[in-house]
């Protein structure tokens, strides 16, 4: 059995009020940056957030929101960009958000270097 599928906290039942169980599952796999940010915010208070994120990192999830982080092509991205060429301000903001995402992963003990979890540029 994979660590990601093993129940890590027995006090949390499978039918608990987890955000990914209460809301439309498509929200966590949307193409819309706004929907993905909403899904990230809903993950904030989830009791399984850390385990969900660890499992997604272990499996290198190809896309979606897992444990409050956005995955794209198996990498954690700070935010999903809309289509088209990004503005210069957006590039600067993305760099700052990338540092934040690295800090969140490190705080959860999931990344100590860039080789542990690939962050998309």
Instruction: Provide the token pair at 102.
Output: 């690295």
**Residue 69 near residue 103, CB atoms below 8 Å:** no
CA distance 38 to 86: 21
Q: Does the annotation flag 39 for ligand binding?
A: no
Q: Does the annotation flag 5 for ligand binding?
A: no
Q: Does the annotation flag 52 for ligand binding?
A: yes
Specify the DSSP element, H or E, that contains 40.
Answer: helix 33-43
Three-point CA angle 112, 44, 118, nearest 5°: 30
Q: Does the annotation flag 59 for ligand binding?
A: no
Q: Which residue has 């959860």 as its token pair?
A: 108
CA distance 43 to 65: 9
Residue list for the binding site for [4Fe-4S] cluster: 20, 43, 46, 52
Residue list for the binding site: 20, 43, 46, 52
């Amino acid at each position: 059995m994979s660590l990601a599928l093993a129940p890590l906290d027995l006090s949390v039942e499978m039918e608990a009020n987890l955000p990914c169980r209460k809301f439309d599952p498509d929200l966590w796999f949307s193409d819309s940056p706004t929907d993905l940010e909403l899904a990230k915010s809903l993950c904030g208070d989830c009791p399984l957030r850390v385990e969900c994120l660890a499992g997604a990192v272990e499996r290198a999830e190809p896309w979606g929101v897992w444990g409050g982080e956005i995955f794209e092509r198996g990498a954690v991205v700070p935010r999903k960009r809309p289509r088209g060429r990004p503005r210069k301000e957006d590039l600067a903001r993305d760099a700052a958000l990338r540092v934040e995402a690295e800090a969140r992963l490190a705080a959860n003990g999931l990344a100590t270097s860039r080789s542990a979890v690939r962050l998309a540029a």
